Homo-oligomer: A and B are copies of this chain.
């Protein structure tokens, strides 16, 4: 299957390379410093960071490195995982999320991405888990506001509902975000998780206006067949089945003007030379999203 370029070529959905961000998970074997220099070498203006790589570098040093490279930080991945029954686990999860908020502030990230957590261990009650997510976000909002960080609730594909996120659709994420102030809580659209949803266009419109809840847009393709671990069924734009044109047009239509992160979890891509990956990320971004 070749890239479906016709659809992306309408002017409304064109996203230029000046809005490309490389999520560092796409080249996950590189350190933060090496990923930053990779972005510079490939004229990629923004970066999505992961907390483990930030910690390895040291927070202040990581912030200094991305600033020195002239990179914008489009997101920090990730907070969340708050569905804990025991009080100790819950306290630890909240403390970890507060630390993540502080890191996002220091790094100047546009959003702290939240992967909310699956079912409570040993339980089957989705309602309980979803209430825990809402309660936890409520507890984190004052800290997010104090430090000027926006939390971005990322709905995960329903195949991860049991073990990673009980928030499975953009509609559900938006309903949740709307319970909190717009300066503190928004939603993140990742095409891998939401491309299948017949309500997606309507839900992007709802998330995007008038409250401006859309705080991040991440892209990668859905490959067939899925690999054994379905986390890693992601591919370069154009290598799979996702129709990026209509999704990007919906995102553009609500006035989203932030960066667009390419975030791909895929063993073959991780095994490829990072410069080759970065070049391909740029090329496919231009071809599939930029109407090139």
Contact = CB atoms under 8 A, between A and B. Distances in A.
A241 interface: yes
Contacts of A158: 157-159, 196-197
A55 interface: no
Given A158-B157, A162-B224, A125 B243 contact: yes
Count of this chain's copies in the oligomeric assembly: 2
A217 interface: no
Interface residues of A, number: 34
A284 to B, nearest CB: 14
Interface string A146-169: 000000000001110111001011
Given A119-B241, A159-B230, A126 B222 contact: no
A151 B225 CA distance: 29
Contacts of A168: 196-198
A18 B119 CA distance: 32
A130 interface: yes
A99 interface: no
Contacts of A243: 124-126
A272 interface: no
Q: Which of A4, A125, A126 has the most CB of B within 10 A?
A: A126
21 contacts: A1-B122, A4-B124, A124-B241, A124-B242, A124-B243, A126-B196, A130-B198, A157-B158, A158-B197, A159-B159, A159-B226, A161-B195, A161-B196, A163-B224, A163-B225, A166-B196, A168-B197, A169-B197, A169-B198, A172-B198, A226-B230
Across the A-B interface, give the 9 residue pairs with the lowest CB-CB distance, nearest first. A161-B196, A124-B243, A228-B228, A158-B196, A159-B159, A162-B241, A172-B198, A4-B124, A158-B158
Interface of A: 1, 4, 119, 122, 124-127, 130, 157-159, 161-163, 166, 168-169, 172, 195-198, 222, 224-228, 230, 241-243, 246
